[in-house]
Amino acid sequence: MRKINAYICPALHHTITVCKDEGATSMFIKCPTCEATGKNEKAISMMGNVHQHFTPTHEWYKPTLEDWNNLNADIANKSLLSQLELHVKRGGLLFRPIK
Ligand SMILES: [Zn+2]
């Protein structure tokens, strides 16, 4: 729990993450820094090999009922939504910026 990890993209942006809940995280994410400038780069996991004192900017979480209601309202693509549901049913966590 509260395990800090990081993801590095080819432009060497790093995204510091935390596991809020127990479950499976992904090996790759879309680099949020690149995404903010309209580029699409994959960032790869440091596999938890990261000093634990870093402050995370993003979290892996297991959606609560309220989270699902928000996702349902935000995601117009219902087939994407059912993919997320299947992913979570199989023990996968979802990824979001920490507010
Ligand atoms: Zn990047």
Distance 43 CA to ligand 1 centre (A): 7
Distance 66 CA to ligand 1 centre (A): 31
pLDDT digits (tens, 9 = 90+) for 2-43: 799 999 999 999 999 999 999 999 999 999 999 999 999 999
pLDDT digits (tens, 9 = 90+) for 35-92: 999 999 999 999 999 999 999 999 999 999 999 999 999 999 999 999 999 999 999 9
| Rounded Cα gap, residues 28 and 72, in angstroms | 24
Distance 50 CA to ligand 1 centre (A): 18
Distance 16 CA to ligand 1 centre (A): 12
| Rounded Cα gap, residues 26 and 47, in angstroms | 10
Produce one character per residue of 13-49: b if its CB has 16 or more CB atoms within 10 Å, e if not. bbbbbbbbeebebeeebebbbbeeeeeebebebbeee
How far is C-alpha 88 from the geometric centre of its chain's CA atoms?
12
Please, which pLDDT band fits residue 1 given cuts at 50, 70 and 90?
low
Distance 33 CA to ligand 1 centre (A): 5
